[in-house]
Chain A
Amino acid sequence: MMIRERPLAGRMIGLYLVVVLAFGAIAAGAGYWGVVRADELASSPNDAAVQAAARMATRGRILDRDGTVLARSRRTDDGTPYRVYVDDAVSTPVGYASSLYGAAGLERAYAAELTGQTGADPLSRVLAKFLPPADRRLDLRTSLSLDLQRLAVRLLGTDRGAVVMLDPRTGEVLTMASTPVYDASAVAAPATSKKAFARLQADDATPLLNRATLGRYVPGSVFKIVTAIAGLGSGSVTPATTYPEQPAAEEDGLLVDGYRVRDGHHPFTGSTALDLTGATEVSCNIWYALAGLDTGGANLDAFARRLGFEKPIPFDLPTAASQLTNGGGPMAGGFLDDVELANASYGQGEVLATPLQMALVAATVANGGELMEPRLATAFIDRDGRETTIGSHSLGRVLDASANAAIVRAMTQAVEGEYGRLFTDGAAVPGVTTAGKSGTAQIGGTGEPHSWFIGFAPAEAPTVAIAVLVENGGRGGDRAAPLAGRMLRAYFDRQP
């Protein structure tokens, strides 16, 4: 029997080709992670080298929008660097950097830049290996205003709550307060670090929690603005839509699927069937429940998502996802039934929202229907004083300008209107047309409702939007709206 002519040999080449291709794919993988994605990963606050350096390195300064230093590095007598913060009031957004406990807030988010771990393209990084090590630490300029931040914390006082104030045109956050605040300098200072941190962790008031971005609250009536956006945006309702059954339903409740949606009645509107502006001005739950049912779960869900609901908002600090429902319901949008949809339409049901999310709802209306990405960092400044600004970024148009204008009118009426003033006159700024919506969020049980306000000014050409939440603060018009008014007045007093 003859041996065939080494038939295996020919196939070796094919096999080797397969092996070479596989190794080529692995080489491409190494290039992908080592070059293409390298900057992103190596400058992430989760990177081990960034974290290691962040504990020991001196950091660049953190500045507010006027150049006031919010955070600076000092050294102990033995040369160990530590951080000092200007005021407890900035603890929420700025956070802390500690050699023992890592970092939080902007100190964590921009650890790589502040400690000089980033800033070079792959080629100059290679070249830099042959040169003496350069000081790459950057100063971080933020959009925060120390004055407004201090005022917000002072106005919240001993209450737990949050204030978010931002420029709707750029997304620049001027104020991000969450109370109680804490002494970040005590956490950062080596001598007091352990004791201070242990005390914060044991504190029932959770001062380390950023309520503005991570606290999820029942929004109550401030959520009606989301329903209005979804209704007008989907064409399901118009500014002139009225519901004949609404006045009567205020007396004995609106029957939805055998369940009565109830509302405190509005004696001053009598038997008038309200339109969008009227219903917003007197905060009519029945009108919004009917409008929500007309809009439908799918549209409400779609527009809420456009506004940032259902997933973490892209931001410099960690954010919690606001929600419309607990999910899993059989109806479109995840609602269990029409009752849940009707209740959600005026901000009850299973709706939960962060103060930042509700500030973005106000900012979207203020910005003509376009949502800008919120941000705190506005520029990096290197050791030589060269400034690299970070541009603003749109998250997309939520609503067209004409439909948006109707909501601006309704929100203006809710603050400046004859009946609106009865609720929320505290929010109005003398000489400036103010728009807004208060909310009184029922949280069940015996607790006082959460007090909410969202708004913006001047209504004709808004330059500032705000959301205020006071936990268990009572009626929105009593607590949150006046607080917002004080903040807005302070803002306009600052303007030249």
Chain B
Amino acid sequence: MTGPASLADPAPRAGAPAGSGAPAGSGAPARSGAPTLPAFARPRPRPRELVLLLAVLGAVLVGSLSLGLTRTGRLEPADPVGFALFAAGLLVAHLVLVLAGRRLDQVLLPATAFLAGIGLLLMERLPQGLVVQEVGSTTLGLGELQLVWLGLALVVATTIAVGLRSDRWLRLYKYTWAAAGLLLLLLTFVFGSEVNGSRLTIDLGPVSGQPSELLKVILVVFFAAYLAENRILLADARVRIAGPISVPPLPYLAPIGAMLALALGIVVVQRDLGAALLFYAVFLALLFLATGRLTDAVLGLILFVAGFLALAALFPHVQQRLAIWIDPWSDPLGAGYQLIQSLHAFARGGLVGTGLGAGLPETGGRLPVPAVHTDFPLAAIGEELGVAGVLAVLGGYLVIVERGLRIAASSRDDFRALLAAGLALVVGVQAAIIAGGNLRLIPLTGITLPFISYGGSSLLANALVIGLLLALSDRGPAPPGPPRPPRFARLRGRHGVGARGADGAAR
């Protein structure tokens, strides 16, 4: 049912219509006449990525100058070394991608860099004492640590983008991945330490992290593999209830039920509404993509809301979260404090903000929002860069989602399409959940704003997502063999399907 598992096959088979690595016309034989070489052997310029990266670096430099000007009154970057390292890292990553010669998406890296750059500026701007780590004899503050994590994240993303050439190990071991995910969840529950009433962090000696960040990637892989295999069954086998309303037969409902139980279980056991909402929303979106049954997704959403309300009636901590959302001002100095301070921050920012470094008033050396670097970075952006800054950040996420779905739409088979869509959505939905929480559109949850929030787990897991998306964006040489329809069929298909993006049209 699915296509072959190979991705950019390093050893192209004879008879493949396009020379590997060479720009191919519409199904025409390689026009460049380049000799068939392994894909990584021949550098391929990425002009679009370079231009966009330079634009992003320019914007971040302006931000750094603005912060420096606010702090010292002189026109100088707030942290010249930090900016230089940030720029150098991105340019090196760009160079590596060029040298690898794969035909990877050229927008994802700059879009991510834009968000990460804003995040870095924010971490440099916040009090450095918020997070302090001793490394040997030196003490690193918030901004420096964020820079270190960003560097590692860049290494992760680039390595996967260049190195991941087969998705076989992802798709074949889907139940192993699911088991690993459940194990991770279990570990968090057993060994996890409680922070702010939620059991999210796991401490293993010197290393601590939030497994739910990694779990989201593992779950997307599992969803994609599972749905790719069963989607026809899920879509076509229906039991009619009344009129147009029908549901899949009971056995096929099991995965939805299991996922619902898992999500609600996370809400109760880990007290992590954000992760539950994220996993579940991405699952529903992929279910819709796989089956085309909008009713199933809507039904699933209604079930989740109903389940959540039922939990709110049963568990005080869920109810309190709901109550704060409905009226934070009922407990302005207690449970509602952070959210109210967040809304005030947006209000102080107004349209264009106070300017970097000029907002976030401290009273008695304390920030109005204590968890601003992890849970409320959008409030800080709203204050210092205004509604305009918030819009820019939201736009950044939309670009990433759009690129991801574009990669998905032009993917060769169902698994890759669902995987790419799921990865893109995991970033977009997570951003939407925490942004909506900060703005009191939905109940507040303690998840991070991808690429912007401080935190190693979050940055590395999201780097994994970007790395996988980049790797998936390389459709490589056309896969050989019988599953691929003849050329005229592909041409027909191209005109028949409207969702093919620029990359798809170039094929």
List chain A positions with a Cβ less than 8 A from chain B. Answer: 1-3, 5-13, 15-16, 18-20, 22-23, 25-27, 29-35, 37-42, 44, 46-49, 51-53, 55, 122, 125-126, 129
**Can you show 6 pairs from A to B with CB atoms below 8 A apart?**
A3-B3, A8-B289, A9-B409, A15-B288, A27-B391, A33-B440
Contact status A6-B352, CB under 8 Å: no
> Chain B residue with minimal CB distance to A40?
B347
Complexed CA–CA distance, A25 and B440 (Å): 11
Complexed CA–CA distance, A11 and B359 (Å): 43
Complexed CA–CA distance, A5 and B397 (Å): 29
Interface centre among B344, B390, B425, B485 (most CB of A within 10 A): B344
Contact status B497-A33, CB under 8 Å: no
Give the residue of B363, B402, B435, B499 whose beta carbon is less than 8 angstroms from that of A9: B499
In whole Å, how far is B30's beta carbon from the nearest beta carbon of chain A?
24
B351 at the interface (CB under 8 A from A): yes
Complexed CA–CA distance, A5 and B87 (Å): 43
Q: For B368, list chain A residues within 8 Å (CB).
A: 48
Q: For A22, list chain B residues within 8 Å (CB).
A: 432, 436
Complexed CA–CA distance, A13 and B409 (Å): 9
Q: Total A-B pairs in contact (CB under 8 Å)? A: 165
Complexed CA–CA distance, A282 and B314 (Å): 57
Count of chain B residues with a beta carbon within 8 Å of a chain A beta carbon: 63
Contact status A27-B290, CB under 8 Å: no
Q: For B477, list chain A residues within 8 Å (CB).
A: none
Complexed CA–CA distance, A22 and B439 (Å): 13
Contact status A46-B340, CB under 8 Å: yes
Contact status A15-B285, CB under 8 Å: yes
> Chain B residue with minimal CB distance to A38?
B347
Q: For B409, list chain A residues within 8 Å (CB).
A: 6, 8-9, 12
Besides the contacts A8-B417, A49-B344, what 16 more A-B pairs have beta carbons closer than 8 Å?
Answer: A6-B409, A6-B417, A9-B409, A15-B289, A15-B405, A19-B425, A26-B436, A30-B346, A31-B387, A34-B386, A40-B347, A44-B344, A48-B344, A49-B348, A122-B351, A126-B352
Chain B 439-471 interface residues, beta-carbon cutoff 8 Å to A: 439-441
Interface centre among B346, B390, B429 (most CB of A within 10 A): B346
Q: Mark B249-267, 1 if CB is under 8 A from A, else 0.
A: 0000000000000000000
B33 at the interface (CB under 8 A from A): no
Give the residue of B289, B347, B497 whose beta carbon is less than 8 angstroms from that of A41: B347
> At the interface, is chain A mostly helix, strand, loop or mixed?
helix
B480 at the interface (CB under 8 A from A): no
Q: For B347, list chain A residues within 8 Å (CB).
A: 33-34, 37-42, 47
> At the interface, is chain B mostly helix, strand, loop or mixed?
helix
Q: For A46, list chain B residues within 8 Å (CB).
A: 332, 340, 344
Contact status A48-B341, CB under 8 Å: yes
Known pairs A34-B382, A35-B387, A129-B355; A19 contacts B398 (CB<8 A): yes
Q: For A126, list chain B residues within 8 Å (CB).
A: 350-352
B394 at the interface (CB under 8 A from A): yes
Give the residue of A8, A31, A33 whose beta carbon is less than 8 angstroms from that of B343: A33
Q: For B292, list chain A residues within 8 Å (CB).
A: 7, 11
Q: For A39, list chain B residues within 8 Å (CB).
A: 347
> Chain A residue with minimal CB distance to B414?
A8
Complexed CA–CA distance, A22 and B428 (Å): 10
In whole Å, how far is B384's beta carbon from the nearest beta carbon of chain A?
12
Contact status A26-B344, CB under 8 Å: no
Q: For B163, list chain A residues within 8 Å (CB).
A: none
Contact status A129-B352, CB under 8 Å: yes
Complexed CA–CA distance, A351 and B303 (Å): 47
Give the residue of B390, B401, B440, B499 whose beta carbon is less than 8 angstroms from that of A10: B499
Q: For A5, list chain B residues within 8 Å (CB).
A: 493, 496-497
Contact status B387-A30, CB under 8 Å: yes
Q: For B289, list chain A residues within 8 Å (CB).
A: 8, 11-12, 15
Complexed CA–CA distance, A9 and B417 (Å): 8
B500 at the interface (CB under 8 A from A): yes
Contact status A2-B398, CB under 8 Å: no
Chain B 406-422 interface residues, beta-carbon cutoff 8 Å to A: 406, 408-411, 413-414, 417-418, 421
Known pairs A6-B493, A9-B499; A23 contacts B405 (CB<8 A): no
Give the residue of B344, B355, B413, B499 whose beta carbon is less than 8 angstroms from that of A42: B344
Q: Mark B359-396, 1 if CB is under 8 A from A, else 0.
A: 10111000010000000000000100011001100100
Complexed CA–CA distance, A310 and B152 (Å): 59
Q: For A13, list chain B residues within 8 Å (CB).
A: 498-499
Complexed CA–CA distance, A421 and B473 (Å): 95
B483 at the interface (CB under 8 A from A): yes
Contact status B391-A34, CB under 8 Å: no
Q: For B387, list chain A residues within 8 Å (CB).
A: 27, 30-31, 34-35
Known pairs A8-B409, A12-B408, A31-B387; A47 contacts B436 (CB<8 A): no
B204 at the interface (CB under 8 A from A): no
Q: For B410, list chain A residues within 8 Å (CB).
A: 9
Known pairs A26-B435, A27-B390; A33 contacts B346 (CB<8 A): yes
> Chain B residue with minimal CB distance to A2?
B485
In whole Å, how far is B401's beta carbon from the nearest beta carbon of chain A?
5
B1 at the interface (CB under 8 A from A): yes
B349 at the interface (CB under 8 A from A): yes
Give the residue of B343, B421, B497 whose beta carbon is less than 8 angstroms from that of A6: B497
Q: For A19, list chain B residues within 8 Å (CB).
A: 398, 401, 425, 428-429, 432
Contact status A48-B391, CB under 8 Å: no
Complexed CA–CA distance, A40 and B348 (Å): 10
Contact status B382-A51, CB under 8 Å: no
Complexed CA–CA distance, A42 and B386 (Å): 13
Complexed CA–CA distance, A8 and B414 (Å): 8
Contact status B439-A26, CB under 8 Å: yes
> Chain A residue with minimal CB distance to B395?
A23
Contact status B363-A29, CB under 8 Å: no
Complexed CA–CA distance, A473 and B361 (Å): 48
Contact status B350-A27, CB under 8 Å: no
Q: For B483, list chain A residues within 8 Å (CB).
A: 3
Q: For B352, list chain A residues within 8 Å (CB).
A: 126, 129
Complexed CA–CA distance, A9 and B495 (Å): 13
Known pairs A3-B485, A8-B409, A13-B498; A125 contacts B441 (CB<8 A): no
> Chain B residue with minimal CB distance to A46?
B332
Known pairs A6-B493, A26-B441; A52 contacts B361 (CB<8 A): yes
Contact status A16-B401, CB under 8 Å: yes
Complexed CA–CA distance, A305 and B351 (Å): 40
Complexed CA–CA distance, A2 and B425 (Å): 28
Q: For A129, list chain B residues within 8 Å (CB).
A: 352, 355
In whole Å, how far is B70's beta carbon from the nearest beta carbon of chain A?
12
Give the residue of A16, A26, A30, A52 whose beta carbon is less than 8 angstroms from that of B402: A16
Contact status B391-A47, CB under 8 Å: no
Q: For B401, list chain A residues within 8 Å (CB).
A: 16, 19
Chain B 47-92 interface residues, beta-carbon cutoff 8 Å to A: none
Q: For A31, list chain B residues within 8 Å (CB).
A: 387
> Chain A residue with minimal CB distance to B416?
A8
Complexed CA–CA distance, A2 and B397 (Å): 36
In whole Å, how far is B328's beta carbon from the nearest beta carbon of chain A?
11
In whole Å, how far is A112's beta carbon from the nearest beta carbon of chain B?
11
Interface centre among A13, A16, A27, A38 (most CB of B within 10 A): A16
Q: For B351, list chain A residues within 8 Å (CB).
A: 34-35, 122, 125-126
In whole Å, how far is B80's beta carbon from the nearest beta carbon of chain A?
26
Complexed CA–CA distance, A6 and B368 (Å): 50
The 5 closest A-B pairs by CB, nearest first: A41-B347, A48-B368, A29-B439, A9-B499, A52-B361
Complexed CA–CA distance, A86 and B343 (Å): 37
Complexed CA–CA distance, A7 and B232 (Å): 11
Contact status A8-B363, CB under 8 Å: no
In whole Å, how far is A355's beta carbon from the nearest beta carbon of chain B?
26
Complexed CA–CA distance, A118 and B497 (Å): 55
> Chain B residue with minimal CB distance to A47?
B344
In whole Å, how far is A233's beta carbon from the nearest beta carbon of chain B?
32
